[in-house]
Amino acid sequence: GESVGLHLPTLSVQEGDNSIINCAYSNSASDYFIWYKQESGKGPQFIIDIRSNMDKRQGQRVTVLLNKTVKHLSLQIAATQPGDSAVYFCAETYTGGFKTIFGAGTRLFVKA
């Protein structure tokens, strides 16, 4: 069944610290993973993606790590800022598939 879950439902970090948000997925056939950020009252916003032929991808202040052996995905945010406060979702899909499965989300609080 659908099962993309997160280990921590909430995460509170101090401004300037690094944040790590984790995600477990269950479908071994999934080969494309995305992290989304959702602010209150808004739609999800694409942050970064990674394909299954990679284990790490970096963006601006964000890094996604993929461990296919244990079906684990993580999002690292460097120097977390108050504007990073939001709910973060991981999502998975697979080549030729149309359905994107979203995890339950992690709420990130950034303390000033």
List residues binding other proteins (CB under 8 A): 4, 32, 34, 36, 41-46, 49, 89, 93, 95-105
Q: Residue 67 Cβ, how far from other proteins at the closest point, in Å? A: 21
Q: Residue 79 Cβ, how far from other proteins at the closest point, in Å? A: 25
Kindly tell me which of 39 and 55 has the beta carbon lying closer to other proteins.
39
Dihedral angle sign, alpha carbons of residues 44, 46, 51, 56:
negative
Kindly tell me which of 103 and 108 has the beta carbon lying closer to other proteins.
103
Q: Residue 107 Cβ, how far from other proteins at the closest point, in Å? A: 8
Strand segments (E) across 1-112: 4-5, 10-14, 19-25, 32-38, 45-51, 56-58, 62-67, 72-77, 86-93, 101-102, 106-111
